[in-house]
Structure 1
Amino acid sequence: MTKIMANIKGDRAIWAVAALLALFSFLPVYSASSNLAYLYGNGDTFTYLVKHFAHLMLGFGIIYAVHKVPYHYFKGLSIIMIPVVIVLLLLTMAQNTTIGGANASRWIKIPFVGVTFQTSTLAAVVLLAYVARYLSKIKGKKITFKETLLPLWLPVFVVLMLILPANFSTTAIIFSMVVMLVFLGGYPIRYLMIIIGTGVVALAFFVLTAKAFPGMFPNRVDTWISRVENFADNKDTQEDYQIERAKIAIARGGVIGKGPGKSVQRNFLPQSSSDFIYAIIIEEWGLLGGVFLMSLYILLLMRLVIVAHKCEEVFGTLLVIGVGLPIVFQAIINMAVAVELFPVTGQTLPLVSSGGTSIWMTCLAIGIVLSVSRKREAVIEKEIKNKEEDPVEVLREAV
């Protein structure tokens, strides 16, 4: 154990938050998966617990491996991976998968393994790392809008257009994070306004095209519109059913909850172990459990800001913001949906909800952040060592 701890570098608070979220997730996932076990697994909830454990173990293996990689390597890796994720997104879209008549081309099956993988989550991490690399490259230089179109915005819009038909919420989150990142990276605001306007026009064009040719994207736009209308008007739809059950779960939880494994609404919520796990957590652990979980994400946000602020290189700072903040942002959206502060989106609760791809890509992002903080620790350790070896420096400090 001591040897393992000695090899763990980087921000210890981030390690602790990730570990606490993972440990906390076991009981809610085990409890909430009873619905899935009843529908698909012959009532065997233990299988889902083992599967979740395997996902987390692989996820923390990813954190450990990635945090050992010097973060400046991600500059070159982001360039290499952009064409790869574009190909993966094209393959995913080409499957033309439908669920209930709606376009659901989000997952791709890995050959010879039988594991499905949601390509948009990998694309998000790669794209934000790529944007951070480009912004660090042009930092302090005088730039024009024309010279940023091909190297910066073309990959962004290609990736987003490939994700949009099957997953609007993920597209919106990635675009929001890119806009925030380029703003913090010093990109001219007047150019950024042009990009935002172009994005709005492109979305409107896509919606009109989907309405004019329904066969191209079966029922997808109608699903988005119905979710927004349901959120605004409380219409009686499937999403309304989920929200009502989530609110009942939260109301039953009270302050201290009904106790682990004693949720009733887990049997009625279709996505009780993923999209709506926060409602199940409050039903079983009460307001105290919900606040505790929220405080972990707030602590993660604080540590991300500290790591970004202490990093001496622009790329490191932007990389932490780009891959780290979406974790907290996704958590906020998931919790907001459960309490009906946001329309139903299908976003999971990072490191808590079941689902392999979500866990692995969250762990990849955390590993990158820890790689940045590890570099800072190495610099500090070197400075301390040099001071200890320099008697003049020691004497000066003593005086």
Structure 2
Amino acid sequence: MAQFSRADNSTLGRWWWTVDRWTLGCVGLLIGFGYVLMLAASPSVAARIGATRDMFIFKQVVFLSIAGVIVLATSMLTPKGVRRLALLGGIVALGLTAMTLVHGMEIKGARRWIALPMMSVQPSEFLKPCFAVVTGWLLAEGKRSRAFPGMLLSAGIFAVILLLLKSQPDIGMLSVITCVFMAQLFIGGLNMFFVGCGVAGMMAAFAGAYFAFAHVRSRVTRFLHPEQGDHYQIDTALQAFGNGGLLGRGPGEGRVKDLLPDAHADFVFAVAGEEFGMLVCLFIIGVFCFIVVRTLLKLLAEDDPFVVLATAGLVCGFGLQAFVNMASSLHLIPTKGMTLPFISYGGSSAMSVALTIGMVLALTRRRTQMSRFGDMPARRGRVTGRGAA
């Protein structure tokens, strides 16, 4: 792609010179780390469950390849295209999430997955990016026209998702979507009194989840009182970080992958810490921070409310998911089964995160129009999100 000149008016040429190539490069780095850490962590897990040694590796190669295609294809959309994709995808994901309550696979008391050949799908993963874009559009339209009930419609969609995720139950996913919605309301200019009410409501909801769900109560209790309950996974993960030190024990020399059942998924960050050390872990954290901060800084120059609200919601969900995974591995928060974007094993997670980043890249592209001479693109403001979806 580097051979494209700025005068290239082809679809790929326009895309290359308008997309945020720094963020795109960071996504490529994360996918590369995903391949490396899957090679390190997954063979031991596969052998422990009696599967072929390379089963997880082959699957993740396919998942991340599809994820890369999704990022590139989605990033070529216009804001209106992103909006339409989110509406269609949100409807499908909402229907499939509801279907899990009836026909879903039950794992550890939760119904979150639909069985497909060669893999299982978690539809609620795709609710995150679609919800962020749809609510961003509704809130933006509500700001443009006081007669449009954008806030009410957004709250109604959130209430439906809340009921579905509570019924599965999936409190972690619900917490992420709630934080995304609250961030969008705050950025959208919600009165600080109502922001405070929302934060108080979230705290009350978390307290209610503690008393209503045994698995939530167990995780919080074990976090607050380390002397109670089973801490095998988190103790092993912390030991892995200690064994890795500054530079790590070296590729393939880690031991945590032989001991943790979720070393390829929820605790893949511990595998990185043991085999590659603290410096590589800090680099991974830096890549995630770079994507989030760079995207938010780009929004400072944006004047389209839809782009601002939708992109902020998308990148908030992306960053929060990464934080929850890494903080759980380091025992900074109670353990939560949430994947590390592009790095942990998982088809649904990889594809939903790819959709998220693809939408971010599409919404933050520099929109261009041809100059009156027709040979060089002239920069102008981005296309606004006005109009029907």
User: Which of 123, 140, 165 pairs up with 1:163?
Assistant: 165
Q: Please state if 1:71 is matched with 2:63.
A: no
**Equivalent of 1:117 in 110, 113, 121:** 121
5+ residue gaps, structure 2, are 5-11, 379-389
2:45 to 36, 45, 54: 36
TM-score (structure 2 length as normaliser): 0.86
- The CA distance in 2 between the partners of 1:73 and 1:333, in whole Å, is 30
Q: Give yes or no for the alignment of 1:178 onto 2:181.
A: yes
RMSD of aligned residue pairs (Cα, Å): 2.8
* CA 1:388–1:355: 2 relative to 1, 3 Å: closer
The size of the alignment, in residue pairs, is 368
The DSSP-based 3-state class of the residue aligned with 1:273 is coil
Q: Indicate yes or no: 2:215 matched with 1:223.
A: yes
Q: Tell me, what secondary structure is at the counterpart of 2:115?
A: strand
Aligned mates of 1:328, 1:81 — CA distance in 2: 21
Which residue number in structure 2 is paired with residue 328 of structure 1? 319
Q: Using the TM superposition, give the Cα deviation of residue 301 of structure 1 relative to its aligned residue in structure 2, in angstroms.
A: 1.4
Structure 1 letter corresponding to 2:113: W
Describe the SS at the equivalent of 1:107: strand
* Match status 1:356 vs 2:356: no
1:316 aligns with 2:322: no
**1:178-327 to 2 correspondence within 5 Å?**
178-197=181-200, 210=212, 221-238=213-230, 240-327=231-318
Match of 1:366 in 2: 357
C-alpha distance in 2, partners of 1:32/1:389?
Answer: 47
What's the counterpart of residue 154 of structure 1?
A: 156
Structure 2: distance between partners of 1:384 and 1:328: 41
Deviation string, structure 1 residues 268-298 (Cα, Å, up to 9, x no partner): 1111011111111010001111111111111
Instruction: State whether residues 59 and 363 of structure 1, in contact with CA within 8 Å, keep that contact through their aligned partners in structure 2.
Output: yes
Change in Cα spacing, 1:11 to 1:94, as seen in structure 2 (3 Å) is same
The residue identity in structure 1 corresponding to 2:268 is I
Distance, in Å, in 2 between the alignment partners of 1:34 and 1:312 is 49
For 1:251 and 1:389, locate their aligned partners in 2 and report how far apart those are by CA, in whole Å.
Answer: 53
State the Cα distance separating 1:97 from its structure 2 match.
4.0
Pick closer, same or farther for the CA change 1:326–1:109 going to 2, 3 Å. same
Match of 1:138 in 2: 142
Instruction: Give the aligned partner of residue 213 of structure 1.
Output: none
Q: Kindly tell me: are residues 121 and 96 of structure 1, through their superposed partners in 2, closer, same or farther at Cα, counting changes over 3 Å? A: closer
Query: Structure 1: which 5+ runs fail to align?
Result: 211-220, 391-399
| Counterpart Cα distance in 1 of 2:151 and 2:259 | 48
**Structure 1 or 2: larger helix share?**
1
TM-score, normalised with respect to structure 1: 0.84
Counterpart amino acid of 1:222? A
Percent sequence identity is: 24
Kindly indicate whether the alpha-carbon contact (under 8 Å) linking 2:114 and 2:121 is maintained by their aligned counterparts in 1.
Answer: yes
Q: Secondary structure at the match of 1:105?
A: strand
The CA distance in 1 between the partners of 2:372 and 2:48, in whole Å, is 59
Q: Which amino acid aligns with 1:340?
A: H
**Structure number with bigger Rg:** 1
Question: Which secondary structure state, in structure 2, belongs to the residue aligned with residue 116 of structure 1?
Answer: strand
